[in-house]
A and B are shown apart, each in its own frame.
Chain A
Amino acid sequence: MSTSTQTAAVAAPGEAPAKHRRRYKKPPLSQGARAERKLGLLLCAPAVIVMIGVAAYPICYAVYLSLQKYNLAFPNAAKFVGLDNYGAVLSSPYWWQALKVTVIITVFSVLFELVLGMALAEVMFRTIFGRGFMRTIALIPYGIVTVAAAYGWLYAWTPNEGYLSALFGNSAPLTSTVPSLAIIILAEVWKTTPFMALLLLSGLAQVPGDLEKAAKVDGATFWQRFTRITLPLMKPAILVALLFRSADAFRIFDNIYVLTGGGHNTYSVSILGYDNLFSALNLGIGSAISILIFICVAIMAGVFIWGFGVKAPGADLAK
């Protein structure tokens, strides 16, 4: 982080200006530059302090807690147990069931969202009537409170109450695992497809219209133009959208909490962590689960950024 300034600062006095390949226009550490740097750090300080206080410090504290045997019901019996909590979590079938459920929900909802989001982005970008109106309508599921929408789905699928249950012969799909997961995914897809569409929209807007027209003149069909021109040019936007949505879907909590409460083996890793804290009052195990979830998300982000070469969003802001 500070290497560039240091080299510049050390090199500056004796050397020819040509060697300054860094971005400074002024000689480094002139009074103005120093004032600018100080102002910059001052301006960033509040944001940095809040982010460290709420994220960095607690995650370190969670690491510490995860090495303790610590149950809130017996706070005085807390003691250091090393990696025992991790062993307990990783050898528990509950953790693996939660991970399986979370991965299934993440993969299926992100896949459906990608396909539907692409279709919705096309509608929002190209439709010939009511474009503004369609964009407004599409934003409602994005903005709606997840819990509010989830209650809508819950009652719609409750036997003797809901229209969807009635439509399927008064069925009670939220009482068994696979149909419950399908409904959780449905609720998730309905709510977040617009967000996916918005992320894709920015990619779509960057595809040059001339290219499409030229291909059309050359006789390419809609599908050919879409697969040969639009998709390849949108690849960066698609990868960023996938990264954001996968990380977001992996922490799914609200929809499951309302729809099944985690019953019938539909609990995600977030639900498991929550239950271990608030039902079992087990801070040690709960923290170990928290850290494992954090590691999973970090690996996922790493795979996207290094594996697929996603330019981290905002990377060009720091130029």
Chain B
Amino acid sequence: MAVTTKQKAGWGAANTVTLVIIAIPLLWIASLSFKTPAAITDPSFWPAQWTWGNYSGILTNSTFVRPLVNSIGIGLIATLVAVVFASMAAYAVARLAMPGKRLLVAGALLISIFPQISLVTPLYNIERSMGLFNTWPGLIIPYIAFGLPMAVYILAAFFQQIPWQLEKAAKVDGATPWQAFTKVIAPLAAPGMVTSAILVFMFCWNEFLFAISLTSTTSARTAPAALAFFSGGSQFTTPTGPIAAAAVVITIPIIIFVSVFQRRIVSGLTSGAVKG
């Protein structure tokens, strides 16, 4: 079908509008991060004078660097554990005859729409009595639980598309179910695992409510939570520049992720979340 000039112009306009709506808020926060403290009260979109001062300020300050390290560590550990647990469960759901599958899938669905605030109060009390409050595991464990449902859906959908004759062949050749899983199926499932790992990590990176509720100092507080606790040089200055710079720093990994893994993220979200 030939593309007419009118169609070209129409899609060109649609693309441009989409691009502008998405880009302006991003450029604004980037622009704020380059403004000098004096220029913050100048509402023009671009800084009159560009400075790296906000970045050097936050990156030499432990109130941001430590939370950044926490974010990376907590996110990576929670992602790793969630994907391993989810792979095991998804394999069982997709492939093995066993009771309770429906219950598992329904439970996962329930958690994925669960209001986190309902868990904050009890978890706060439980974690304080168990000594988990304000520690890495205190955040990692809830993150695993909330990352699991998405990972189970994506991986179960993925496992169902794998040619299972291979597994049968391995069993005929004398492999145990465990060997069939680790030696034959797991390598084939690796792309699904990568997809779910990206999405779980993005969830952990973004999470805010648990991060401010279950921590009290920078020893476990993650970067989004640290943003909310930034204070200015004195009580009369709002820390706009440093917050903007910190916002940019925690956005950069996301931009890298979506640029590199766009296809995987789209296919993961569309195949895992909805099977219409």
Interface residues of A (CB under 8 A from B): 1-2, 4-5, 23-24, 33, 35-37, 39-41, 43-44, 46-48, 50-51, 53-56, 58-59, 61-62, 65, 119-120, 122-123, 126-130, 132, 134-149, 151-153, 155-156, 160-163, 165-166, 170, 190, 195, 198-199, 201-203, 205-206, 234, 236-237, 240-241, 243-244, 247-248, 250-251, 253-254, 257-258, 269-270, 273-274, 277-278, 283, 286-287, 289-291, 293-294, 297, 301, 311-318
Contact = CB atoms under 8 A, between A and B. Distances in A.
Contacts of B228: 147, 257-258
A127 B16 CA distance: 11
A127 B11 CA distance: 6
B262 interface: yes
Contacts of A152: 25-26, 28-29, 32, 244, 247
B166 interface: no
B interface, over-half SS: helix
Contact of B43 (A144, A161, A316): A161
Interface residues of B, number: 109
A47 B200 CA distance: 14
A88 B7 CA distance: 60
20 contacts: A36-B98, A36-B177, A40-B96, A44-B88, A47-B148, A54-B146, A58-B122, A58-B123, A65-B125, A123-B15, A128-B8, A135-B262, A143-B254, A170-B43, A190-B22, A240-B274, A274-B117, A277-B213, A283-B125, A297-B114
Given A4-B99, A160-B41, A51 B111 contact: yes
Contact of A47 (B7, B116, B152): B152
A197 B243 CA distance: 30
A244 B273 contact: yes
Interface in B18-77: 18-19, 21-23, 25-26, 28-29, 32, 40-41, 43-45
Nearest to A148: B247
A190 B92 contact: no
Contacts of B23: 137
Given A40-B97, A145-B251, A253-B209, A65 B102 contact: no
B65 to A, nearest CB: 17
Nearest to B176: A35
User: Quick one: which of B41, B97, B109, B269 has the most chain A CB within 10 A?
Assistant: B97
Interface of B: 3, 7-8, 11-12, 14-15, 18-19, 21-23, 25-26, 28-29, 32, 40-41, 43-45, 84-86, 88-89, 91-94, 96-126, 141-142, 144-146, 148, 152-153, 156-157, 160, 177-178, 202, 205-206, 208-209, 213, 223-224, 227-228, 240, 243-244, 246-248, 250-251, 254-255, 257-259, 262-263, 265-266, 269-271, 273-276
Contact of A201 (B152, B244, B270): B270
A166 B22 CA distance: 20
A134 B157 CA distance: 26
Given A145-B224, A294-B115, A317-B157, A50 B44 contact: no
